[in-house]
Every structure is written in C-alpha cells, then in structure tokens.
Structure 1
Amino acid sequence: MLPEEASGRLKEIYDDIIEKRGKLADVHKIQSLRPESIIKHMDLYLEIMFSKSELSRSERELMAVVVSVNNGCEYCILHHSEALNHYWKDHDRIELFVSDFGNAALNEREKLLCDFAKKLTCSPGQFNNDSSVNKLKEKGLNDSAILDATLVVSYFNFVNRVVLALGVETNDVERQGYKF
C-alpha cells in the first residue's frame, strides 16, 4: 500500500520509517498487510546494519551486496550498492564489485568477509566444516564481529527471499534518497 493511501496504525508506521530513513522502501510497502511485521523488520534491520559493531557500516553493506548478488536479488543489489557507494564514493569500483567482487579493490579483511558471505549464502549446509570463521579470527575479528557478520548475511538471505517471492522491483528514483 502506498503511503498516501495508508491510515491508522499503518500510516503511523510509515511516517515513523520515513522520519528515520528519509523515505519508505518498497520492501516495507509490500508488508502492508502485516503492519507490525514492518516494525519488527525495521527494528531488525536497524540493529543489524546500524548498531555499534566491530564491523564498519561499509563492511556490512559489502556483505549485503555479496549475498544479494549470489541470490540474484536485483532490488537489494541496487539498494545496497547505493548504500555502499555512500561510503566508497566510487561508482566504477561499485560496478566492478557487483560484477566480480573477487577482482575488486578490497583489503584482506573485506575479501574474507565477502568469502564468508558467499559461502554462508551458497553452501549453508557445508558451512560447519568450513574454515571461513577461522580465517576471520586469524584476521583479528572477534566472536562479536563474527556474530555480526553472520547476522548480516542471514538477514539479507531472508530479505532477498521476501523480495524475490513477492516480486518487489526497484528503479533509480526508488533506490535513492535514504539516510545511511
């Protein structure tokens, strides 16, 4: 439901999100039949992506893009590459990263976080025997940072599936104008 059509509790929720984030994303509009789920979704998003963490905001957006690319979720790729570019300020680097993160100019920690995100997204069943967690620890990430990375990856796998299942689409206007 569009914000101008909303009333009652849904309008309150929409207004609150617009105040916090600058605008209302289509991923939230698609949940209008369950207004309280929008609140829970937004709370989870803000906690995972904006709370204090050993991971920087750009590292979290980096993993969001990797998950979304591997799931083929164009909506989240566009939204979160836009967010990542808020930190990188380099559209060419973003384009290369989206097309092939393995060849993008990343530091070792970023590469390990991207590998972690890809492996947990593409092969969750084999992850228990994977060395990705140990590699992150060897690079200096503590248990809290590894938990945060796992939460980011898991959250975006969830959101990608909601977006893909319900056919949420994006465009240049819709994906811009958010508070990062």
Structure 2
Amino acid sequence: VFVGMMHRPDELRAFLDYHDALMERESGLSKAEREMIVVATSAANDCLYCVVAHGAILRIRAKDDQIADRIAANWRTAPVTERQRAMLGFAVKLGRTPEDVTDGDLDELRSHGFSDDDIWDIGSIAALFALSNRLAHLMDLQPNDEFFTMGRFPRG
C-alpha cells in the first residue's frame, strides 16, 4: 500500500503516521493482538494482500506459524483466548456492519477486561485497515512471495 501511495506524499505521510501511532505504541493490546485484528478484518474484506502481509507479521509477533492462517480462515474457531475472540468479533462486526454495533458490544469487551482506550484501539485498527484493504483492492496489490513463508520456517 505504501508504494502505491508514493504519488500522494502528503497522504502517505498521514497514513504512515496514523499506522505507527496505532500499531507501534504501548497499549493494552499486544502487538500480536493488533495484527490479529488486521488479519481477521482483512480476511472479512477479502484483501489477500493485507491477510498475507500482516499474517507474516502476526506469525513473527505471536511466534506461532499457524495462527495467522487459522484466524484468516475462521477467527471464530482459531486457537485464541476468549478475550481475543471477543476482540476479533467486535472488530469484524465494526468493519462489516457498523450500524449493528451496540452498547452491549462495548459492555462485552469491558467484561473481558478491555478498557475504553483498548476499545478505541480495536475500532481504530479495524477502521484504518478497512481503508488499507480498499486501497489494496484499488491498486490490485499482490503479496510479495516472501510474505507467504515469513515466520513459518526456522531461519537458517
């Protein structure tokens, strides 16, 4: 996505700044959990590029060579905690049917220990990657070959 936006440097800079503010800072969400959100919502948006690219990052951050594939295939049955499943369910719901999000959804997240700041982060990551997914579709981006194997095999 970054390369595709190079012809719009102001937009690229804003995108990267927001991306880094959400994905790299310390918060109640681990970096692996943030990547879980990206993979689940990107799969819901049929964005192969983002699923594969962020799947590679997730495998590395989670130190699990199968987690990204399992979340992309079906986050509901993936081997994640109930807390993470609630997080992914909310992120996907916000991305697919935002009009259906209710206070009950927020209360459900709070019951799993998410703070209001955490909930904001979940929603913001889902929203940013909804934009990223659509731009990847617009540019017909295809994953780099190395993304398919990153985090799967021991480094030799």
- Normalized against structure 1, the TM-score is what? 0.78
Cα distance in 1, alignment partners of residues 147 and 66 from structure 2:
21
In the alignment, structure 1 residue 138 sits paired with structure 2 residue 95 = no
What is the aligned residue count?
150
Larger Rg: 1
C-alpha displacement of 1:65: 0.5
- Which amino acid is 1:159 matched to? S
Q: Is the CA contact 2:52–2:147 (under 8 Å) kept in the aligned structure 1?
A: no
Q: Distance in 2 between matches of 1:103 and 1:75?
A: 22
Q: Within 5 Å, give how 1:165-176 maps onto structure 2.
A: 165-173=138-146
Is residue 153 of structure 1 aligned with residue 126 of structure 2?
A: yes
Q: For the residues of structure 1 that align with 2:147 and 2:110, how far apart are their CA atoms?
A: 38
TM-score (norm 2): 0.89
Gap regions ≥5 residues in structure 2: 151-156
Aligned match of 2:7: 33
Query: Which residue identity does 1:167 align to in structure 2?
Result: D
Secondary structure of the corresponding residue to residue 146 of structure 2 = coil
CA contact 1:48–1:151 (8 Å) conserved in 2: yes
- 1:92, distance to aligned residue in structure 2 (A): 2.8
| Per-residue deviation, 1:90 | 2.5
Please tell me whether the aligned partners of residues 22 and 121 of structure 2 are also in contact (alpha carbons under 8 angstroms).
Answer: yes
Instruction: Give secondary structure in 2 for the equivalent of 1:158.
Output: helix
Q: CA deviation at 1:87?
A: 2.1
State whether residues 58 and 87 of structure 1, in contact with CA within 8 Å, keep that contact through their aligned partners in structure 2. Answer: yes
How much is the aligned-residue C-alpha RMSD, in angstroms? 1.7
Runs (4 or more) in structure 1 with deviation over 4 Å come to: 174-177
Give the fraction of aligned pairs with identical amino acids, expressed as a percent: 27
